Amino acid sequence: MVNRQGDSNGNYQKTSNGQFGHRFLTSAAASPEGEYYGAIEAWSDSVISYDSEVDPKDNSISTDEFGGETSQTALTITEGKLIAGSITNIVVTSGKIIAYLK
C-alpha cells in the first residue's frame, strides 16, 4: 500500500529521507502504477521520464494553476542530483536512480 502521508508539512522530511520506503530503478525499468514519490535521486548519470502533480489527493488543484511542469521526457539527471515533488510514472531509460516513496 502506498503511503501518501508525505504531503503534510510534518512528514516531508520523512519522505525525503526514505522513511516511507524507496525503490531502486535501473535502465529500462518503470515504477509500479499508482506509486507516488517525494524525490528522485540519481545514483549514476541517468535519463528519466516522469509525471508530476501538485497534490494527488486534491482533485481541485492542478499544476496549471501554479505553473510548472506536469511531465518530463528524456531528462538527463547527473549523479548525486535530487528532484523533489509529487512524482509518479517514472521510467528510467539509462542509469540508476532511487525514488523515495511518500
Q: Where are the domains of the chain?
A: 5-101
Helix (H) or strand (E) holding 65: helix 63-66
What pLDDT sits at residue 25?
Answer: 97
Q: For residues 71 and 52, is the Cβ–Cβ distance under 8 A?
A: yes
C-alpha–C-alpha distance, residues 27 and 85, integer Å:
22
Task: Compute the average pLDDT of residues 26-49.
Answer: 95
Angle, vertex CA 16, rays to CA 15 and CA 21, nearest 5: 55
Q: What is the pTM assigned to this prediction?
A: 0.75
CA distances from 44 to 1, 14, 23, 87 (A): 28, 23, 15, 19
Q: How confident is the model over 38-86, as pLDDT tens digits?
A: 899 999 999 999 998 765 455 555 555 556 678 899 999 999 999 988 8
Q: How confident is the model over 7-25, as pLDDT tens digits?
A: 555 565 665 566 788 999 9
What pLDDT sits at residue 12?
Answer: 57
What pLDDT sits at residue 61?
Answer: 54
Q: Which residue has the cell 502521508?
A: 5
- Would you say residue 89 has pLDDT above 60? yes
- Would you say residue 3 has pLDDT above 70? no
